[in-house]
């Protein structure tokens, strides 16, 4: 009897491990809807979320895939490892011009900080996990606003009220960092609302 019980428990444990290993992780849940912004304008949006907050994964630059949101998050989060020239390929024209200006004003120290870390696994100083995103079209361009949250309790306390996010634009089937939405009230509106709140304002 004892032996039989042990065998049953081992079978149950084995099934639990198998189910845990085979279940998809960070599944993306998306919904397309018409969103009415606080200023009364309507936008056709795709609102997506990860079933569990997405933690960026390091990949060598040769394996970077900017064709999807996760791929961009990975590349952006570890861009300090890729060197200055490769970093610039992650940016659209607006973000690239800003980066070049910062580098000029720092007398080359900004680009040097990237080149000094080539080959090292260098992530963002403040760890962020990503929860949801919004895709929308503005002026015949497709943008995404990717919203996250601070991972460490001390950062949550220190930056209380701050919502980390990054905006991208799709060019040649690649998501690139952009500053195009910097002065759009819609960008801050999206980042200030939770995924559930965005859905409530959709039809």
Are 99 and 109 in contact by the 8 Å Cβ rule? The answer is no
155 sits in which H/E element: helix 153-158
- Residue 28 is predicted with a pLDDT of 77
Instruction: List, for the chain, all residue ranges whose pLDDT scores fall below the cut of 70.
Output: 1-26, 122-124
- Residue 123 is predicted with a pLDDT of 67
- Residue 41 is predicted with a pLDDT of 83
- The strand pair at 174-177 and 141-150 is best described as unpaired
- Residue 26 is predicted with a pLDDT of 58
- Residue 37 is predicted with a pLDDT of 84
Q: What are phi and psi of 162, to 5 degrees?
A: -95, 130
* DSSP secondary structure letter of residue 36: E
Q: CB count, 10 Å around CB of 148?
A: 23
- Residue 178 is predicted with a pLDDT of 97
118 sits in which H/E element: none
Rounded-to-integer distance, Cα 25 and Cα 87, Å: 28
- Residue 25 is predicted with a pLDDT of 57
- Residue 22 is predicted with a pLDDT of 40
Which 3 state secondary structure label does DSSP give 144?
Answer: strand
Query: Smallest Cα–Cα separation from 86: which of 108, 117, 55, 56?
Result: 117
């Amino acid at each position: 009897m004892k032996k039989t019980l042990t065998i049953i428990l081992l079978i149950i444990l084995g099934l639990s491990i198998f189910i845990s290993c085979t279940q998809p992780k960070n599944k993306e849940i998306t919904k397309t809807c018409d969103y009415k912004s606080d200023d009364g304008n309507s936008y056709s949006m795709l609102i997506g979320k990860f079933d569990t907050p997405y933690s960026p994964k390091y990949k060598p630059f040769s394996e970077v895939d900017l064709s999807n949101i996760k791929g961009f998050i990975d590349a952006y989060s570890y861009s300090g490892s890729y060197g200055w020239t490769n970093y610039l390929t992650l940016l659209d024209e607006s973000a690239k011009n800003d980066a070049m200006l910062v580098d000029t004003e720092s007398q080359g120290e900004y680009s040097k900080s990237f080149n000094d870390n080539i080959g090292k696994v260098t992530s963002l100083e403040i760890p962020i996990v990503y929860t949801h995103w919004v895709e929308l079209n503005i002026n015949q361009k497709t943008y995404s606003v990717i919203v996250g949250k601070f991972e460490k309790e001390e950062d949550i306390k220190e930056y209380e009220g701050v919502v980390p996010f990054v905006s991208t634009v799709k060019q040649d089937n690649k998501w690139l960092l952009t500053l195009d939405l910097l002065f759009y009230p819609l960008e801050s509106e999206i980042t200030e609302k939770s995924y559930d709140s965005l859905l409530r304002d959709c039809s």
